[in-house]
Amino acid sequence: MWVQISLTKTTSILTAQLKATAPAVDQATMPLPGDCASASSLCVAARGSRLQLQLACNLMPPNTSPIRECNDVLILDTKEKIQEVAVPDITHITGEEEDVTLRHKFVPTSSLREILTLEHVKLILNHDCTNCARHLQGNKLAEPNQFPPHRIIATDSAINLFALLIYLRYPLLVGCFLSSYDDKSLPSPRYFSRYDLRDRQFLHLPLQTRNTVTQEFQDEKWKFSVPSFKDGSFQDYEKDTILPYIDETPVGKGAYGKVFKVKMHPEYCTFGSNKIGGSNTHNKDGELILARKEIIDKDAINFVMEKTNLERIATLKHPHLIQIQKTYQLGQVFNILFPFAKTNLHDYLREDKWGAPKHPRISESPLWVQVLGITEGLSKIISFTDPEDPEKTFFGQHLDLKPHNILIDRVPGSSRDCFKISDFGQTQFIDLAVGNTTRIVGGVNGSDAYAPPEYQESEHNHTYDVWSLAIIILEVLAYAVRGIDGLQNRRQGLDHVRITTEDRVRSSNFYTGKGADARVKPSILSWMDNLSMDPGLEPDCQVFVRNLINLCKSMLEPRMEKRITIERVLLKMKELFNVKVSEYITGTGESLKKKEEEVLVELEKVQYFPDGLKGRHSMDSPFIILGDSRHRLRIYVGPHIRNARHQRQEMKLILAYQHRTKVDNNHFEISFASMRDDCTNSLQNKFLVIDNEDDARKVQIALTNQYLSPRFQVGRMTLKMYCHTLRKISNHVSQLFNKSSTSSSSRSATSEANIEPLWIELWLERKQTLRQDAFPSEAASLEPPSTYRRAKRQINPSKECPLGRVVIYCKDLIVILPFAKECQLHKQDDIELTKSRLLTFEPMDKRQCDFFKASFLRGSNPGPSSGSAEDTLPGIPMHHDELYKTEKECEVLCEKLDVTFANWKDANELYRLYKNEKARWLDEIKGIMPKTQSLLTNLTQSHMPHY
């Protein structure tokens, strides 16, 4: 049917005359044209050979002429401010683009929140602009009076969307999105497709304007849609996505990828707080430094293999195995993020600038601790047990172990370096339940210089990596004995000795021949014998070097069936490297450790002040704490007190550094005091100065028998003391008869005090040394000693439930809040949204109990600075029973305790840790299996595997 339509407009009806060659039609309903969004239907009625079309309109038809963008000064100024805070993006920049102006930019959400305050948002929504009014014509639900202004700043998605529309100069179109989504479901701008915008959100706009706004939105949305790396889960991003990288430097290239050092904007990387098995390096601006590995292989096989291996290895949480941070795909490029390490072992041993340690006594070099660490890590890979399913075991092989793949990372809070095995792209795992074999069939693509003779054979077994490890140990030994010359000297250096020419082919392999004829090169064997007889070695160090070389020779057995296993290597290495201060006093062979004791803490060096800090006389000494099951301690520090025995019940620990906001020159002072005047010990009034916080925390954990959370800086603390109802009435009556005492009575009734706090942390008692009366009735029921309330049901004192505590360090005071059912920790509804730094301790139910208990430990011990009686610090009892008694003696009743943190992230983290440990404690005292793992225990064990 051919139809000719002519439209005429009346007040509420559009009439169309249709000429048709078809027979008359009684009635028909036709779809609406694209620009008639405000009409409900098109009705056609038959009139002989003519058809009359009527368009019933609910709203006036929109203006079909294009609408210009907003030109208001407020909008233009706001756009300029947004442009000023934009950060250069290096995600899509090639090496040829050096001009900063050519770079993309992204706008951090935190910067937008500083610009788009609630008052500023209200000004924009209510500004008077003809063009902006036309932007909403035909969509009344999107008008600013239809939603509260605070919704725009309620979520990151909303504020980013609003900023983008301001940038495009169509700010009031934000109502189109807020009318379609609630706050929780509103997506980030990058998730809106061209179809979503053109045919849904902007449908009311004239066609030309709609197409223009849609295109501009699509072009600019990436600047306001930077994804946050909140966890390590895999993400697939569109190729135009801007990632939160603000700097990038190439650092290496391998067979399957390139490696870059990337600097991340701190706002978009929150998984950096999850320090599993390693440290994340931040610069002075708080920017996170990571290593990004870009997989070149287009079929993604190597990416999937390495990603799977890394995720499996991450479950081990071993400090000497590199931990994956995140994996993602950007367009067609696969990426893996790791903590950035300062260098690799190859360069570490060959370049002075990295400061590899040199020790005059080879056997005591700190390098052996790291060699033992990577050996343990490798053994975990070869005999892999799934931590989540201990019955599931795998046989694993790294297959590309070499110094380039061992990264050197700094131990957090220390000047020591840590070796970490990396690059698991070649690693293979075989499920022993399926394959039941320790042999792998197939070729290997690793580096041949560190590979065993079976490198290119069709079959290899679980000792493949043992050969590679032996070469690495020999390189470390060469450096330990002769320094860089031990590797690079043109006559005696291992790097040159290993290179031979056979049939005009230069080879750096450690072996010659193939298959059954393979053997270690004679030049290598001669070099090892030479090294063991180096004239610079002391006699006992010669024995150490000879024993280590003999171990390496057994690891370099050409026949894999006869090669020593990793389990035996680890056992022999522990025996060999056990030549250290915890087992033998320097060079004398005198055993320090007794059979019934275990080493609780061992530090290579502390500064020891036998006459107190005031005496100015100090010495560098190893520091070792030995303990047994009867709460006896032997503390070795300096030559005069190595055999002194101490009972935990008789000693207090004084943590001087906890009572200062800043630690000068990494001096963490610790001292000891006696619990009672009639008890003395050889460490009383003697001071130790430890050079890093991690070691100081280890000492605190060992001596107090408490698991620790990280400590957080506190800015302010307000305490409201408890005043009983009868006392309040008495004070009120006194005020009526004696008006002059009003102010003093008021103060006594509220007893509110501002205390200057410094640090706050959580403690959790270690189970193996719990009191027998861990929870007497006083600890479980916090009722005051009065007759006004009924006694509560007592908790069974035989239950061994580890008690948690909140501990606040002040200038000359320690405030302790033991876990109690009557006390709760309160926070703002959403700390991340409100950025609130305030947490409040208050009674759980004021109708039943309107107070909670805290303990104030005051000092009677000389402080480190002056040693005077006026400058005193509180001591922490080392035994749980003594700590409990001290808490009861120093107990006060509180109505409220407000703690203001230095930043909101610390407040949020302490709240999370507290809620987890408190929930576990409540479950345990009820005899219920806790639903969650202890975060404090995991934190302590990740840094101190012994615990």
Q: Which residues pair with 899 in a beta bridge?
A: 717, 839
**What confidence score (pLDDT) does residue 619 get?**
62
Residue 200 per-residue DSSP state: I
Q: Which range has highest mean pLDDT (5-9, 46-50, 541-545, 865-869)?
A: 541-545
Parent domain of 674: 603-685
Segment among 523-537, 830-844, 869-883 with least mean pLDDT: 869-883
Handedness of CA 366, 368, 373, 378 (dihedral sign): positive
Cα 500 to Cα 513: distance, rounded to the nearest angstrom = 12
Q: How confident is the model at residue 278 (pLDDT cuts 50, 70, 90)?
A: very low
For the stretch 77-106, pLDDT in tens is 999 999 999 988 676 554 444 443 334 789
**What confidence score (pLDDT) does residue 108 get?**
93
**What confidence score (pLDDT) does residue 894 get?**
93
746 token code pair: 């008021």
At 275, the amino acid letter reads K
Chain position carrying tokens 């079976």: 454
- For residue 622, pLDDT beyond 90: no
Neighbours of 947 (CB within 10 A): 15
Cα 382 to Cα 466: distance, rounded to the nearest angstrom = 10
Neighbours of 10 (CB within 10 A): 9
Neighbours of 662 (CB within 10 A): 6
Residues 618 and 641 occupy one common structural domain: yes
Q: Please check whether residue 945 lies inside any domain of the structure.
A: no
Cα 719 to Cα 893: distance, rounded to the nearest angstrom = 10
Averaged over 740-767, what is the pLDDT?
Answer: 68
Residues 740 and 765 occupy one common structural domain: yes
Cα 627 to Cα 599: distance, rounded to the nearest angstrom = 7
609 token code pair: 């002040």
Residues 268 and 370 occupy one common structural domain: no
**What confidence score (pLDDT) does residue 398 get?**
92
> Pick the residue with more confidence: 723 or 578?
723
Cα 859 to Cα 882: distance, rounded to the nearest angstrom = 16
Q: Please check whether residue 470 lies inside any domain of the structure.
A: yes
Q: How confident is the model at residue 726 (pLDDT cuts 50, 70, 90)?
A: low
Strand positions, DSSP E, 766-831:
804-810, 813-818, 823-826
- For residue 688, pLDDT beyond 50: yes
Q: How confident is the model at residue 477 (pLDDT cuts 50, 70, 90)?
A: very high
Neighbours of 909 (CB within 10 A): 18
**What confidence score (pLDDT) does residue 614 get?**
55
Residues 188 and 235 occupy one common structural domain: no
Averaged over 140-146, what is the pLDDT?
Answer: 90
Q: Which of 791, 794, 898 is nearest to 839 (CA)?
A: 898
Q: What percent of the chain has pLDDT over 70?
A: 73
Q: Please check whether residue 345 lies inside any domain of the structure.
A: no
Residues 378 and 511 occupy one common structural domain: yes
**What confidence score (pLDDT) does residue 804 get?**
92
SS3 (DSSP) at 170: coil
Residues 100 and 50 occupy one common structural domain: no
Residues 196 and 239 occupy one common structural domain: no
> Pick the residue with more confidence: 18 or 339?
339
- For residue 29, pLDDT beyond 70: no
- For residue 492, pLDDT beyond 70: yes
Q: Please check whether residue 138 lies inside any domain of the structure.
A: yes
**What confidence score (pLDDT) does residue 692 get?**
85
* Cross-sheet strand order for the sheet of 383-385: 383-385, 393-397, 428-431
Averaged over 215-241, what is the pLDDT?
Answer: 90
SS3 (DSSP) at 41: strand
- For residue 796, pLDDT beyond 60: no
Cα 576 to Cα 568: distance, rounded to the nearest angstrom = 12
- For residue 864, pLDDT beyond 50: yes
* Contact status, residue 705 vs residue 878, Cβ threshold 8 Å: yes
**What confidence score (pLDDT) does residue 713 get?**
93
SS3 (DSSP) at 439: strand
Residues 245 and 364 occupy one common structural domain: no
For the stretch 805-833, pLDDT in tens is 999 999 889 999 999 999 999 887 778 88
Residues 328 and 362 occupy one common structural domain: no
> Pick the residue with more confidence: 376 or 644?
376
Q: Please check whether residue 522 lies inside any domain of the structure.
A: yes
Q: Which range has highest mean pLDDT (4-18, 669-683, 694-708, 789-803)?
A: 694-708
For the stretch 571-609, pLDDT in tens is 889 888 863 434 333 333 334 556 566 778 877 678 777
Residues 45 and 124 occupy one common structural domain: no
305 token code pair: 């293999």
Q: Which of 626, 631, 648, 697 is nearest to 668 (CA)?
A: 697
Q: Which range has highest mean pLDDT (187-191, 601-605, 674-678)?
A: 187-191
- Sequence-distant (6+) residues with CB within 8 A of 769 are 631, 705, 880
Q: Which range has highest mean pLDDT (13-27, 240-254, 336-350)?
A: 336-350
Residue 38 per-residue DSSP state: T
Please give the mean pLDDT across all residues of the chain: 78
Would you list the DSSP string of 829-870?
A: S-HHHH---EEEEEES-TTT---EEEEEEE--EE-TTT--SS
**What confidence score (pLDDT) does residue 915 get?**
93
* Contact status, residue 226 vs residue 245, Cβ threshold 8 Å: no
For the chain, counts of helices (H) and of strands (E): 26, 46
**What confidence score (pLDDT) does residue 570 get?**
87
Number of domains forming the structure of the chain: 6
Q: Which range has highest mean pLDDT (274-288, 516-530, 531-545)?
A: 516-530
- For residue 545, pLDDT beyond 90: yes
Q: What is the CATH number of the domain that holds 239?
A: 3.30.200.20
Q: Please check whether residue 701 lies inside any domain of the structure.
A: no
Cα 895 to Cα 844: distance, rounded to the nearest angstrom = 11
Q: CA-CA distances (angstroms) from residue 138 to 1, 31, 37, 193, 200? A: 34, 19, 8, 22, 13
Domain's final residue, options 309, 340, 371: 340
Residues 234 and 219 occupy one common structural domain: no
**What confidence score (pLDDT) does residue 79 get?**
95
Q: Please check whether residue 259 lies inside any domain of the structure.
A: yes
Q: How confident is the model at residue 723 (pLDDT cuts 50, 70, 90)?
A: confident
Long-range own/partner contacts, residues 636-639 (CB < 8 A, 24 or more apart): 636/581, 636/592, 637/606, 637/608, 637/683, 637/688, 638/608, 638/610
404 token code pair: 């380039």
Domain's final residue, options 275, 306, 340: 340
> Pick the residue with more confidence: 893 or 691?
893
Q: Which of 894, 804, 805, 915 is nearest to 849 (CA)?
A: 894
Would you list the DSSP string of 862-914?
A: E-TTT--SSSEE--EESSHHHHHHHHHHTEEEEEEEEEEESSHHHHHHHHHHH
**What confidence score (pLDDT) does residue 946 get?**
46
Angle of CA points 363, 368, 369, to nearest 5°:
125
Averaged over 275-304, what is the pLDDT?
Answer: 68
Domain's final residue, options 169, 201, 224: 224
> Pick the residue with more confidence: 54 or 299?
299
Averaged over 869-889, what is the pLDDT?
Answer: 84
Neighbours of 727 (CB within 10 A): 12
Q: Please check whether residue 349 lies inside any domain of the structure.
A: no
> Pick the residue with more confidence: 539 or 912?
912
**What confidence score (pLDDT) does residue 271 get?**
61
- For residue 367, pLDDT beyond 50: yes
Cα 732 to Cα 590: distance, rounded to the nearest angstrom = 73
For the stretch 404-437, pLDDT in tens is 999 998 876 677 899 999 988 888 888 776 654 4
Residue 54 per-residue DSSP state: E
Q: Which of 668, 891, 684, 889 is nearest to 759 (CA)?
A: 668
Residues 415 and 561 occupy one common structural domain: yes
**What confidence score (pLDDT) does residue 487 get?**
96
**What confidence score (pLDDT) does residue 748 get?**
43
